Structure 1
Amino acid sequence: MSGGHFLKHLACTLSSRSLTSTTLSRPLTRPFSSRFFTSRKPTELSRPNSPLAAANISTSSSSSETPSAQPFALPFQSVNIRCQRHVSDMLQEALLCFGASSTSIDEDENHEDSDEICITSIFPEGEDVNTCISRAADSISLKEMPSYKVTMGEQYDWIKKTQESFHPVEITEGLWIVPEWKTPPDSQATNIILNPGLAFGTGEHPTTKLCILLLHGLIKGGEQFLDYGTGSGILAIAAVKFGAAFSVGIDIDPQAITSARQNATLNNIGPEQMQLHLVPSETCGIWTDPCGGVEERSSSEVETISQTDKYDVLIANILLNPLLDLADQIVSYAKPGGVIGLSGILSEQLPYIIERYSQFLEGISTTEMDGWACVHGRKKQNVAGN
């Protein structure tokens, strides 16, 4: 989806808490806060610290439309998992939390008239697949362990297959998301060029589309925009393309920041128009630099980066639980009267978001696409604590 890894590391540490309190109090919520990411595509998800993500794929749109990857032959376990169609999205996310490097669903091989679907999941060599699947199934309250089959393969083959699955996506007339290695179908259109190899956010997931369409209607020119959990940077880039004066993306995953920075460069967007900040999880005061360095930073530095009450438009395209748990923080970034968009939620989960944010927002509206939803409204002028 818009997809990201926001607060992923914090979320994984919170999974046990969420399994107890959150599941009981909010039965429709995700049973774990585990993956605070943005631009997600349930049919093709990858864990940011996986060998797949770390491969740092090198591609070129000018030389060929065939994806070219550096030879990368680390062995991996390919696991085909059968499950009920209606739990496939949540199971994919759970698998990523409990050890899978990536998951995918080949829609061509999974007929819509069948109640069962096959998830192909990639695990590092040596990972205890049975334990991972068991924990993932337990986390979303499956009554039975899904059946699965394990085969061995080479990492390079998976990377190539993953790249080949991405194609240009037309969000609306004159607006395209184009993989770096593809030629834009319409050179005169607004084309957002993307290499999603390191982070979530391909433009194909309904929540990403909903957020981009929301931005397309909101940005009139000169706005300050915040992408809360930037992932691949797709929303921050889109805001600049639409006319925002300045765009900021934040994430706690260094590979997301690296990916977003690379994607900004692909779109000829410099730091004077778009900035990206790595923020610490609440469980650790250490900041990990995308280039591999680690340093301590004080809480005062976080405040200079966040600057509350600053942004005209803010979008958080993450997951239900973090949207609920972090509502006060999310709202604090927006100016009074600023627009806040919230996505990454299923349509059936809308009542929880509306109930939680009605104290902060006025004029709340919702849009839906393929069972997913986006909520937006304007921050009230006198919000308690702001």
Structure 2
Amino acid sequence: MSGASLGNFIKHLACTLYAQLPRGSRRMLHQSHFYSSSSSIVFRRPSSPTARFGQQWRPCSLAASVSSKAASQNSSTVSGVPPYSSVLIRCRKDVADVLSEALLSFGASSVSMDEHDDYENSDKVSICSIFTDCEDVDACISHAADSIGLEETPTFEVLKYNPYDWIKRTQESFDPVEVTKGLWIVPVWKTPPDIWATNVILNPGLAFGTGEHATTKLCLLVLHRSIRGGELFLDYGTGSGILSIAALKLGAALSVGVDIDPQAITAAHQNALLNNIEPDKLKLHLVSGNDSPILRDPELQKFVRVGIPADKNAYDVVIANILLNPLLDLADEIVSHAKHGAVVGLSGILSEQVDLVIECYSRFLENITVSEKDDWACVTGTRIRS
């Protein structure tokens, strides 16, 4: 499995396992890194050194899933995903942040933190970390503790899981989502609740985007308001392709999806097929280089291009559902693809980060509005006419 693919697996896995921790108050110990309504912190090592969007972590869904074909394989390895261990560590609150960073440096694939009501008056906090079987858990925790000057290694518990078990659990937890009246996101293994509605059939694979995360819902609502028929849509950070496919089903003439992760491009392509989307309706762009194996697949070649789309001032609706830093760094690039007067939506940001995004984009956009859900936000505006 590629580094990017394994990174996405770990990203989803961190969220799924974290949701199974004992129920309690999840205090924001480091708010700038919180990711969703479940209020856990997810740190992740970059999945690829060529990750242009620059993410250190990315919001994920508790109901992320992999393909039903992979789920049918009850073996120690599913689609190249190795067995993994979930490690619950107890440490002092005052060292939790630095220990989390150190764990990532010494082999952990992800780190989540939680503080329960039972320990409100305690100086301890729980850290849930994920390791693949190729990592030495004891050595990692010991080296991490030594690197930040702890005199003793924190106590921890190791639980091993098989990827098949995770796949089964996450599929069972992913139900159809009604984004708004008449618009549903339906996992491929479920029956659409309303066959007359606009149903986006989805198998996210190892990519972000199941329709359950607040940022995805906010972006889908922007599309629902903005697509009237015949629009050209650019999906900057397409993930599972959910927004691109929804735009087409709502009446857009063309969707173009951009992502840095080959696994996301593969998932988006597979979801396009599930929804009977023709190659001339959905174009996918892989940013991270010419040497990806997926580009040697004759079927994918009909859909996939390499690099950022070259067309400027071309799209009626542009949505970038990524993260704060790449949104700020790529502001000129993102807006350059929008027609004058086009709708531009910016998401993947926390409510507390809205002012930074508005300050950055106010030179490009007018009629700026903000929608919020579960501490996440979407900033929407129209490109200023020259």
TM-score normalized by the length of structure 2 = 0.69
Say whether residues 1:161 and 2:172 are aligned partners: no
Say whether residues 1:261 and 2:269 are aligned partners: yes
Further displaced range: 188-197 or 151-160: 151-160
Say whether residues 1:73 and 2:92 are aligned partners: no
Further displaced range: 124-133 or 262-271: 124-133
What pairs with 1:1-386 in structure 2 (closer than 5 Å)?
34=46, 36=53, 40-41=59-60, 43=62, 56-58=67-69, 68-74=71-77, 75-80=83-88, 121-129=129-137, 148-280=156-288, 285-290=289-294, 302=307, 305-382=309-386
- Cα 1:70–1:241 shift into 2, 3 Å: same
Q: Is the 8 A contact 1:361 1:380 kept in 2?
A: yes
Q: Is the 8 A contact 1:221 1:242 kept in 2?
A: yes
Partner Cα distance (1:273, 1:289) in 2: 23
- Any idea what the Cα deviations from partners look like across 1:36-56, whole Å, max 9, x if unmatched? 57984354669xxxxxx6xx5
- Any idea what the Cα deviations from partners look like across 1:100-133, whole Å, max 9, x if unmatched? 667899x9xx988986997755421022447878
Q: How far is the alpha carbon of 1:173 from its aligned partner?
A: 1.5
Partner Cα distance (1:193, 1:97) in 2: 38
3-state SS of the aligned residue for 1:151? strand
Partner Cα distance (1:292, 1:97) in 2: 34
Q: Is the 8 A contact 2:287 2:306 kept in 1?
A: no
Q: State the one-letter code of the partner of 1:379.
A: R
- Any idea what the Cα deviations from partners look like across 1:66-92, whole Å, max 9, x if unmatched? xx421231332122356999xx9xx99
Partner Cα distance (2:158, 2:138) in 1: 10
Moved over 3 A (4+): 27-40, 42-46, 80-85, 91-105, 110-122, 128-137, 145-148, 300-303
Q: How far is the alpha carbon of 1:166 from its aligned partner?
A: 1.0
Q: How much is the aligned-residue C-alpha RMSD, in angstroms?
A: 4.2
- Any idea what the Cα deviations from partners look like across 1:320-375, whole Å, max 9, x if unmatched? 11111111111111111111100001001111101111111111110001110000
Structure 2, unaligned runs of 5 or more? 9-30, 35-42, 48-52, 78-82, 146-152, 298-304
Q: State the one-letter code of the partner of 1:58.
A: K
Partner Cα distance (1:365, 1:98) in 2: 42
Partner Cα distance (2:319, 2:368) in 1: 14
Partner Cα distance (1:122, 1:288) in 2: 27
Partner Cα distance (2:246, 2:292) in 1: 26
Task: Pick the structure with greater CA Rg.
Answer: 2
Q: How far is the alpha carbon of 1:262 from its aligned partner?
A: 0.4
Q: How far is the alpha carbon of 1:162 from its aligned partner?
A: 2.1
Q: What is the percentage of aligned positions where both structures have the same residue? A: 57
Q: State the one-letter code of the partner of 2:317.
A: V
Q: Is the 8 A contact 1:249 1:277 kept in 2?
A: yes
Which protein, 1 or 2, shows the higher relative CO under an 8 Å CA cutoff with sep ≥ 6? Answer: 1
- Cα 1:175–1:44 shift into 2, 3 Å: closer
Partner Cα distance (2:381, 2:199) in 1: 27
- Cα 1:180–1:333 shift into 2, 3 Å: same
TM-score normalized by the length of structure 1 = 0.69
Q: How far is the alpha carbon of 1:317 from its aligned partner?
A: 0.4
Aligned length: 320
Q: Is the 8 A contact 1:226 1:314 kept in 2?
A: yes
Q: How far is the alpha carbon of 1:217 from its aligned partner?
A: 0.3
- Cα 1:246–1:99 shift into 2, 3 Å: farther
Question: What is residue 14 of structure 1 aligned with on the other side?
Answer: none
- Cα 1:307–1:341 shift into 2, 3 Å: same
Partner Cα distance (1:239, 1:134) in 2: 49
Q: Is the 8 A contact 2:63 2:174 kept in 1?
A: no
- Cα 1:32–1:119 shift into 2, 3 Å: closer
- Cα 1:226–1:287 shift into 2, 3 Å: farther
Q: State the one-letter code of the partner of 1:69.
A: S
Question: What is residue 141 of structure 1 aligned with on the other side?
Answer: none
Structure 1, unaligned runs of 5 or more? 10-26, 47-52, 60-67, 138-144, 294-299
- Cα 1:334–1:265 shift into 2, 3 Å: same
